[in-house]
Homo-oligomer: A and B are copies of this chain.
Amino acid sequence: MRVAFQGEIGAYSEQAAVSFFGPQIELLPQPDFRSIFEAVVQNRADAAIVPIENSLAGSVHQNYDLLLEFRLPITGEIYLRIRHHLMALPGVRKQDIRRVISHPQALEQCRAFLQQWPDIEIMPYYDTAGSAKRLRDENLRDAAAIASQQAAIEYHLQILASEIESDHQNYTRFLIVERQPKVPETDGKTSIVFATKDIPGALFKSLAVFALRDINLQKLESRPLIGKPFQYLFYLDFEGTLKDDACRNALNHLGEITSFLQILGSYPKGRWI
């Protein structure tokens, strides 16, 4: 199994991929999100792991757009607790550290911890695992990185402080996409994207097709429809799969009242790790 992920070795995406597929997978780090979809389409990878939403920062909108563009079916999901650690080269002590390097979002999530340390310089970098790699590559003995435990192991760094994020309710939801759909028999969910017709109560009627069949909605997200200012695409997750009659009927009904409808995939509900 070859799995494409965005980031450097040691990224949170890598941790999610290993948790989902097991440790025997071959990992393909990619520079950006578009490349992980391309790797699957071009058969260089069998699956891609796609961060779609963080419980603090919100949705990764670019990945919603790429799901629609590439039309690769979603085959799974996993929720990863994000634990940020402060790490440095072995032998470096806390008092040696003059600057802390990480992705801006990680720096923001650890702001309370960093404020206890007023003289420190905060250096935004493109990637959390990339900041750990940089300590090693450039042999930086006056700097620390904020990254995952996996990054510390990968780049032989020492963890100086663990779980330094302010809010521990910090989870990222990752989707798995493959070339072929894998619809589970039971206990699954389904993701779709649709655009409403320009009729009164269009969104209400769209949600009614689920409510009238007692299908629970899990998430609703709107994205702009390019070229049509202030019209929207809606990304919706609901409980149930394409093997359930009620869900298939709801989607047929939804097709009647929408101008566009695409099924992104049915997949088993994800574990929280």
Contact = CB atoms under 8 A, between A and B. Distances in A.
A203 B217 contact: yes
A242 B204 CA distance: 21
A224 B55 contact: yes
Interface in A219-260: 219-224, 226-230, 232
Interface stretch (A12-20, A146-154, A208-216): A208-216
Interface residues of A, number: 37
A219 B196 CA distance: 12
Copies in the complex: 2
A210 to B, nearest CB: 7
A57 B230 CA distance: 11
B219 A230 contact: yes
Contact of A169 (B55, B204, B229): B229
A156 B62 CA distance: 36
A58 interface: yes
A207 interface: yes
Contact of A171 (B210, B217, B229): B229
A224 B57 CA distance: 7
Contacts of A230: 53, 55, 79, 171, 173, 218-219
Which 6 pairs of residues, A with B, have the shortest CB-CB distance?
A: A55-B229, A204-B211, A201-B211, A204-B207, A171-B229, A169-B227
Given A54-B224, A55-B224, A220-B232, 7 more contacts: A55-B226, A58-B223, A79-B230, A169-B229, A171-B230, A200-B214, A201-B214
